[in-house]
Structure 1
Amino acid sequence: MNFKKWLLASITTVFVFSCSQPVLTYEIGGKKKSVTYNDVKDLVEYMATSYPQYLQDVEMLKNVLFSESRASKDIILFEELKAGLTNSPEFNDKFSSEIEKQYFIYLAQEGTNWVAQKTKNTAFPVVRASHILFTVNTNATKEEVRLLAQNTLDTLKKSKNFTKDFSNAAIQYSQDPGSKDIGGDLGYFLEGMMVPEFENAVFTTKKKGLLPELVETSDGYHIIYVTEPKTDKSYSWIEKQVQDGKMSYYVLMKLQQDLQTKTLAMAVKKNYTLEDNKVKVGKNEYEITAIPDNTVLFSVWGKNYTWKEVKNLFALFIPGYEQELSTQFDALMNAAQGFLVNVEGGRKIGKDNADSRRKVREDALIQYAMNNFEQILFQQASSMITDKDVKDFYEQNKARLVKDGKPMPFDENLKNQIRNQLIQSRMWYFYQSWLDQKKSEYKVTFNQNGLNDLLKKANKIRANAEIQGNSPQFQ
C-alpha cells in the first residue's frame, strides 16, 4: 500500500472510531450504556444554530447532552417503571392503542421512499409559453381592447424578427405584471394551473409557434406564443427545474398534488362508490352507518381493507370520528387511503416484523414515561405558582408587555400566559435539579476529548451560521 492510500485508510479508520466513540456513559440496573458522537451530532448542530446560548462552555454542553439525549430518557423510563408506571388500570388500554398508532406511523415513514421509487418515473404533461395580455378596463370598451389585441397579433404574424418583436410588444402592451417585463414568458406550467380556455389552447397545440387566433379568458385577450409544446416530464426533472429557479415553486406544489393523485390511482383500487350519502359496493347499497364490518371497501398495493379495519384506523387517529362520518365520509376515506399507501410500502420492504414492533414498543414506552414524568412536574410546578407570583411578574415586566404600542391589559388572558410561562420555567428548574441528583446514582461520565471536539464543532457551526445565515451540516 502506498503512502497516500495508507494515510487515507488511517484517516477513515480514525473518523469511524471517533464517530462511534462514547461521549457519555451511564449505568442502569448494572448494565453500562453509552451515547456516541453519532447519536448527538444532530442534536449539537440544532442547538448550535437555534439555541447557541446553551453551548457556551463544556459544562453547558454536558447539561445539553445529558438532558436532551436518550440517556435522560432511559433513566426516566427506569424510574417510572420502578414507581409502577405500568401498574395503572388504564395503562394496557391506552398503551396498546398508542403502540398500534405509532406502529402505523413507523411503517408509513419507512415506506415513503419505496413509494417514491414506484412513482419516480411518473410523467406529467408540461408546456412552456409566453403571452401578451390585453385586459378590459374603464378606459376602453371590450371591442376596442379586442381590436388592439388583434392588430398586435396581425403585426406579429408578419414580423421578420419575431422573438425580439414579441418580447418588445409584451413589454409595451401586456397587462400581466408577472411576465410583461421578461417578454411575456410564463415559464413551464402543468395542467390545471391556468384558466381552462388558456390551458386548452396551449396543451392542444402540437408544435412550437404563435397561435393564429386570440384566446379570450376571464382575464381578457391573450396573444400566445408556445415556446415548448406539451411534453411529458418526470417528477425529478420538474423538481430540478424548480431548484434551479427555472420554474415557479407553485409548479412544485401543484406537482406534488398531481403526484399524490396519480399515486393513489396507481396504488388504490376502490370497490365502492358514494352517491347521495349512500355507499354502494357491487349490487349492495348501504347507509354509511350500516356498512357491514367485513365489507372490503378498497385495496392498497393489493392488500384488501375491510370496513372494520378502516374504522379501527379512524379510531386510532381521529377520536370521535363517528360524529364526522356522515358528512366527511369521502374526505376521511381519501385520507386513510393516502396514509395506507405508505404503510403498505413499509410492509412491501419487509419492515412489518417482530424487530420493528419491539423497537416501536420501546420508543412508545419511553414516550409514555416521559409524558407521565412531565405531567408530574407540571402538577408540582403549577401548585407552587400563586396569584402573587403572576402579579409580581407583571409588575416587574410590564414595560416589556406591550402590544401595538400600548401596555397589555392585566386581564385573564395575560394572567394565564404569565402563569403558563412561570410554570414552564419552574418545570425546567425541577427537571434540571432532578437530573443533577441522578448523575451520581446512574454513574454518568463524559469523555473529555469528545466534549472538547463537540464544542469546537459547535462553535464553528454557530460562527458559520451567523456569517452565512443558514445551518451548515455537522461533519
Structure 2
Amino acid sequence: MLKFLRLALVASVAVAGLAAPVLAEDKPDPVVATVGGEEIRQSDIDLAITGLDPQLAQLPPEQKRVAALSAMVDVKLLAQNAGKEGLENDPTFKQRIAYLTERELHNAYFKKHVVDAVTPEQVKARYDKEIAAIPAQEEVKARHILLKTEDEAKAVIAELDAGKDFVTLAKEKSTDPNKDDGGDLGYFTKGRMVPEFEAVAFTLDKGAYTKTPVKTQFGYHVILVEDKRPQAPPALEQVEQQVRQLVMRDAYIALLTDARKAAGVEISDPALKKAYDEANEEKPAN
C-alpha cells in the first residue's frame, strides 16, 4: 500500500508543480489590494488560485479571481493579528513551517529534476519498451445471426450452404438488435464475448461460418469470421500521459535512492524500520 501512496505522491506533486504560476521578469505584477499596509499583487492572486478548493476552482475566471482575493485578504488579516501576538515564535508553529518549507523544496526539486527534465525521447523509448512487452493478441472481425431455437439456426446454416448471403440472412432472421447492420460485431479480442461464442469464433478460419449452431445464454448463434489480424497497440498519442507518469515515477525513485544512499537514513524504532524498509525495497522498474 505504501508503494502505491508513493506513486500517487509523484502524480500529485507533478500536477502541483505544473500548476504553479510563473511570473516572467517583464510581466506586469500590479498591486490589486492592500491589507493593513501590506500589498497583495496579481502574482499573489495567481498563486492563491492554485490553492482554491476544488469546487471553487470550477468557477468562471473572474469569480475565481474574486474568491482568491477574498482568501488572500482573510489570510493577511488574521496573519497580521497572529504576528501581533507573536504566534510565529510558537515551537509547534516553527516545526510546521520547517516541514512545509522542506515539502515545497522537495516539490521544487522534483519539478526541476523530474517533471521538467522528462524529454519526448524518453517518453518514446518507454512507450516502445511497454509496447514490446505486451503479449501479441489476435482479434477477429465477425458477424452473427442470433436465433431463438436450434432448429432455426440449423435452417439458416442450410441456407448459407445453399449460397444465401450471410448479411441478407442476418437482416431477415436475426433477433439481435444489430440485425440491421448484418450482424456486424466489429473486431474483438478474447475476453470480450461470452466464452461459448468466442471459443468457436477464434477457431474459425477467415471467411468461414459455423456449421453447427453455437448455444449461449442469448440463444443460438451462427457465426461468420470475416477477418483475423494481430491487435494494433495504442498509438503513443493515446497513452502519452500514462507513459510520461511511468518515466517520472522511475526518475523520482532513482532520485530518492541516490539521495538515501548519499545521506543515510537511520530509523531507531525497530518495527517502524522494518515497515519502512519493506515499503522502500528496491524493485526492478516495470
Give the TM-score, by structure 2 length. Answer: 0.49
Flag the structure with more relative contact order, 1 or 2, with Cα contacts below 8 A and sequence separation at least 6: 1
Give the TM-score, by structure 1 length. Answer: 0.32
